[in-house]
Amino acid sequence: MKQAYQKSILENGLRMVTHRMPERQSLSIGIFIKVGGRYENMGNKGVAHFLEHLLFKGTKNYSCRMIKESIEGVGGSLNGFTSEELTCYLIKIPSIYLDRALNVLSDMVIRPLLSEVEIKKERAVILEEIKMYRDLPQSYVYELLDELLWPNQPLGAPIIGTVDSLTETDRHKLVSFKKKHYTVSSMVISAAGDIDEDKLDNRVNKIFATLPKKRENLFSVVKESQDNVRLKLFHKDTEQTHMALGFKSLKRDHPLRHALGILHVILGANMSSRLFNEIREKRGLAYEIGTMVKRFYDTGAFLVHAGIDNRKVPDAIGLILKELVKIKDNLVTEGELNRAKEFYIGQLKLGLEDTMEHMLWIGETTATLDKTYSLSDIISEVNRVRREDLLKVARSLFKENNLNLSLIGPVDLKEDKIRKKLILN
């Protein structure tokens, strides 16, 4: 069960982590850069995401069309994402095309054209993307919640940016941001699948070794101060009310992180969860309800999300909070704890069968924590979690001076009723 991860560091600081899975016919490879929404300021919000889009629009050696066709033309797929603390460019492809995948990804990261024509076009695309999210209340409700959790700082502002910040982002700002943050000291190359690790190591050295060493990217730590309940209502004539309930939570490497994960399973990770059973199955108040955990370098969030019958919003919120009070006042049963542990471990096992999921897992932990955990490490840590650990986490999170609620729907006349339900004792 012990995974053999091969790790190396170039003299210029570039880190690489690989996992050979010879029984697979694919390989997945990604380049992680420690830069994202948290590395921006309120004036250039969205620049990291804008830059990620532009790297697919052409490089010194590949046109935009060639980038796509070179990978998709042999059955592969390519993508990228920008989060609060990371940007990643990734490819999954038949394993015989390792060189092709690495050549395309490295050229995107090292030699993008960032042409004025593409910048203009992609700015228009992202402005439409902003409008799309505003039209999707099940997405926009999270943006409103982030503003409540971390007001007036980059972590609480949308990764995609705003109309004003995107309009003011020109080529000079994009080039400067890339030059500052896309450094080998802040990069990790991650690969999993049917790979020749020695060949990959040699190729990476050849491509990246000449790039200069610079200091690792840094961001300002989060400022957290909350004295009472925060509530944000956004009126929209929707057929149901979209809710996001959030509590500031544990940072990424907190000793009780697995207890938090198991708490998430018990409360809302699947159809066996308490909230699903109580709110949907027993009461029929929501079609969609669940929980989510967000983890960052210095903080985190525990979220409850739901789509609620417009006529029963206060009742549903009251019942949700009642379930949170139960789990902070009473130990879960041994049976419930054991089932949650099995689900937690089982989901990880199923995910790690896929080369893409395995590559993302080892790449993210190496980039953010400079650690790589084996599956056996995680299983051992999870098995040590006790019922008392869950109680400790629940009591630290579920407090009124840590409660944040955003709602989108026809909720104008319900604010007083909703506020009366926001009680956690």
Question: What CATH number should be reported for the domain holding residue 374?
Answer: 3.30.830.10
Is 202 in the same domain as 234?
no
Q: Which amino acid is at 351?
A: G
| Residue 403, burial from CB neighbour count under 10 angstroms (0-12, 13-18, 19+) | buried
Residues 12, 213: contact at Cβ < 8 Å? yes
Is 131 in the same domain as 193?
yes
Computed over every residue of the chain, the mean pLDDT equals: 95
Q: Provide the angle, in degrees to the nearest 10, between the axes of the packed helices 334-351 and 257-268.
A: 100
Domain boundary pick from 174, 208, 242:
208
- Please report the pLDDT score of residue 1 as a whole number: 41
**Residue 115: CB partners within 8 Å, gap ≥ 6?**
57, 58
Q: Is 256 left (phi over 0), alpha (psi -120 to 50) or beta?
A: alpha
Is 408 in the same domain as 282?
yes
- Residue 53 falls inside a structural domain: yes
Is 172 in the same domain as 256?
no
Instruction: Give the bridge partners for 31, in sequence order.
Output: 89, 189
- Residue 403 falls inside a structural domain: yes
Q: Averaged over 401-420, what is the pLDDT?
A: 91
- Residue 223 falls inside a structural domain: no
Is 236 in the same domain as 126?
no
- Please report the pLDDT score of residue 413 as a whole number: 67
- Residue 384 falls inside a structural domain: yes
Positive or negative: CA dihedral 258, 262, 263, 264:
positive
- Residue 213 falls inside a structural domain: no
Strand 300-309: give its sheet, edge to edge.
Answer: 230-235, 404-409, 240-248, 300-309, 286-295
DSSP 38: G
- Return the active site residues: 52
Is 127 in the same domain as 260?
no
pLDDT tens figures, 189-236: 999 999 999 999 999 999 998 888 888 888 989 999 999 999 999 999
- Residue 149 falls inside a structural domain: yes
Is 287 in the same domain as 322?
yes
Is 235 in the same domain as 183?
no
Is 196 in the same domain as 247?
no
> Number of folded domains in the chain?
2
**Rounded Cα gap, residues 376 and 349, in angstroms:** 10
pTM above 0.85, yes or no: yes
Is 325 in the same domain as 385?
yes
Is 12 in the same domain as 95?
yes
Is 182 in the same domain as 248?
no
pLDDT tens figures, 350-375: 999 999 999 999 999 999 999 999 99
Residue 334: give the domain boundaries.
230-421
- Residue 215 falls inside a structural domain: no
How is residue 97 written in tokens?
A: 């095309």
- Residue 216 falls inside a structural domain: no
Token pair 């053999």 is at which residue?
Answer: 4
**Rounded Cα gap, residues 327 and 247, in angstroms:** 15
